[in-house]
A and B are shown apart, each in its own frame.
Chain A
Amino acid sequence: MNNISAASREFREMDELSAQDSPIHRLHPLVKLLVTLAYIVCVVSFPKYQLSGLAVMVLYPVLVFQLSGIPVRTCFHKLRIVLPLVCAVGLLNPFFDRAPLLYVGGLAVSGGVVSMVTLMLKGVFSLMASFLLIATTSIDALCAALRKLHVPALLVTLLLLTYRYISVMIGEVAVMTDAYRLRAPGQKGIHISVWGSFLGQLLLRSMDRAEELYQSMQLRGFRGEFYYADQPPCTAGAVAYGVVCAALFVLARLYDLPQLLGNLFV
């Protein structure tokens, strides 16, 4: 199978994940969206040396992975391209911040190393939370939730169409690369001399298809609102889940829980 076709299939698997049934999938999308936002805000607001406090935040994705039945492996597999980039963000910290911050078994660990790991964890946790939101909520339900937060219809429609057009574009790339490879045997990838025309053609073809797709939506009554998105009722349980999660995030952010627990025993 063409790599691009595989990418297209992988992209569509997100829809399949979001269509599964679990207590997390059944939660109201707005609750999931707000909890995810609260989680990300709390995670990124941790000070750069507060590694032990940040580590506790791993519990939320672990819990959601368990409850939703989404395999952790799938998450890391799908994030395999972006994860190294996120992890690379703090790579230079150890070179600039060399002052010892703590000692592990007599070995000095510099502030740069701690802040690098903290940055990496922040990125990984945020990505995991975002992935879990998308993997447990359909894009339409997510857009409906955004509209409930009064995010402008234009922006939400742009988000929805971008999501839809990505698969359209990947499909077109797959067809074009297949056609290219069949007439350029032995070549590895697409030769640089045709990149311009290839991209131009891709743009034109994607625009044509995207236009037809949007017209198809318009012809079936789409006016920028998401009446069709299936939304479970916002139950008291869902609200309680949201409130408890948010409270725990704030608690974990304000207090270094591992340190407090450690102090109980030491």
Chain B
Amino acid sequence: MIEFQNVSFSYESGTPVLQNLCFSIGAGEAVGLIGANGAGKSTIMKILLGLLPCEGGVTVGGLAVKKQNLGEVRKKLGFVLQNSDNQMFMPTVYEDMMFAPRNYGLSKEEAEARVDRVLSELGLTELKHRYNHKISGGEKRMAAIATILAMEPEAILMDEPSTALDPVNRRTVIRAINGLTMTKLIASHDLDMILDTCDRVILLSHGQVAADGPAGEILRDKALLEANRMELPFCLAGPSPRQ
């Protein structure tokens, strides 16, 4: 579904962010992208979406990520932004959810049916006609996921989906993510959430893959995580020092 072959990327200053990155993600896989700040997680997502140019080959569903394919590539990928305020730009949740299906040529009736189905699946029907600026952070995050699901993408990319959520909303988001059957690529520092939602983890360090394997294995490897400026997930770390 997603393939990175010798991908390198540097900002204008010349600082390399990604160096000869290679990995592939199969259809239906749930992959967590972890790494310290600046490891290149968000950059990978932006490259996948064609928002940043890079050296090397990137394909999505067999299509190379290049200018002439961007429309098709972006149709296959749904991107949940870290800041839901930037994602939800229409006045109401309903209008936001209608935005992509209508842009992709669905009639109003078809788009509305899809919106209703997604809202019902996520248990968000009561949000449908609410104004985006009047819903809570947790509701907004769920609504942001709903707007992407209304696109019916083949893969969903999420950048820090659990940031700034209270425990209940975080759990709701995790349940929603686990309910999705499409390919998932989740970039996060919340390793507990990665453990709860992903089968496989790609650990990035200095723009390279430091480890790639089953989530349960990598997230239990204390030495590996600490060598890459990370820590064990809280649920595996045992009692805190103050207890």
Interface, chain A (partner B; CB < 8 A): 9, 12, 15-16, 18-19, 138, 140, 164, 171, 209, 212-213, 215-223, 225, 227-228, 230
Interface status of B234 (Cβ within 8 A of chain A): no
A230 partner residues in chain B, CB cutoff 8 A: 95, 98, 108
Interface status of B89 (Cβ within 8 A of chain A): yes
A171 partner residues in chain B, CB cutoff 8 A: 85
| Binary CB contact string for chain B from 97 to 120 against chain A (1 if under 8 A, 0 otherwise) | 011101111001000000000000
CB distance from B63 to the nearest CB of A (A): 15
A15 touching B131, Cβ below 8 Å? yes
Interface status of B135 (Cβ within 8 A of chain A): no
B74 touching A164, Cβ below 8 Å? no
B75 partner residues in chain A, CB cutoff 8 A: 221
Which of A18, A140, A219, A222 is the one whose CB lies under 8 Å from B79?
A: A219
| Binary CB contact string for chain B from 75 to 107 against chain A (1 if under 8 A, 0 otherwise) | 101010101011101111001001110111100
B91 touching A16, Cβ below 8 Å? yes
- Given A12-B131, A15-B131, the answer on whether A221 and B103 have CB atoms closer than 8 Å is yes
A213 touching B86, Cβ below 8 Å? yes
- Given A221-B100, A228-B102, A230-B108, the answer on whether A216 and B89 have CB atoms closer than 8 Å is yes
A213 touching B89, Cβ below 8 Å? yes
CB distance from A166 to the nearest CB of B (A): 12
A213 partner residues in chain B, CB cutoff 8 A: 86, 89
Interface status of B8 (Cβ within 8 A of chain A): no
Q: How far is the CA of A134 from the CA of B85 in the complex (A)?
A: 23
Q: How far is the CA of A138 from the CA of B66 in the complex (A)?
A: 35
Among A140, A218, A225, residue most surrounded by chain B Cβ atoms (within 10 Å) = A218
Question: Which secondary structure dominates where chain A touches chain B?
Answer: helix
A212 touching B81, Cβ below 8 Å? yes
Interface status of B236 (Cβ within 8 A of chain A): no
Which of A16, A212, A221, A225 is the one whose CB lies under 8 Å from B74?
A: A221
B51 touching A215, Cβ below 8 Å? yes
Interface status of B39 (Cβ within 8 A of chain A): no
A222 partner residues in chain B, CB cutoff 8 A: 99, 103
A-B contact pairs, 13 of them (CB 8 A): A18-B91, A171-B85, A209-B86, A212-B86, A213-B86, A216-B89, A217-B89, A220-B99, A221-B74, A221-B100, A221-B104, A228-B103, A230-B98
A217 partner residues in chain B, CB cutoff 8 A: 89, 99
A8 nearest CB neighbor, chain B only: B133
B100 nearest CB neighbor, chain A only: A220
| Known A140-B90, A209-B83, A219-B77; 16 more pairs at CB < 8 Å | A9-B133, A12-B91, A216-B86, A217-B99, A220-B103, A221-B74, A221-B75, A221-B99, A221-B100, A221-B103, A225-B103, A227-B103, A228-B102, A228-B103, A230-B98, A230-B108
B91 partner residues in chain A, CB cutoff 8 A: 12, 15-16, 18-19, 138
Interface status of B151 (Cβ within 8 A of chain A): yes
Which of A16, A138, A221 is the one whose CB lies under 8 Å from B131?
A: A16
B74 touching A218, Cβ below 8 Å? yes
Q: How far is the CA of A215 from the CA of B81 in the complex (A)?
A: 10
Q: How far is the CA of A140 from the CA of B102 in the complex (A)?
A: 13
Interface status of B147 (Cβ within 8 A of chain A): yes
Interface status of B49 (Cβ within 8 A of chain A): yes
B79 partner residues in chain A, CB cutoff 8 A: 216, 219
Q: How far is the CA of A138 from the CA of B96 in the complex (A)?
A: 13
- Given A220-B151, A221-B75, A228-B98, the answer on whether A12 and B133 have CB atoms closer than 8 Å is yes
Q: How far is the CA of A138 from the CA of B131 in the complex (A)?
A: 14
B108 partner residues in chain A, CB cutoff 8 A: 230
Q: How far is the CA of A230 from the CA of B94 in the complex (A)?
A: 11
B81 touching A216, Cβ below 8 Å? yes
Q: How far is the CA of A140 from the CA of B99 in the complex (A)?
A: 11
Which 3 pairs of residues, A with B, have the shortest CB-CB distance? A221-B103, A228-B102, A15-B91
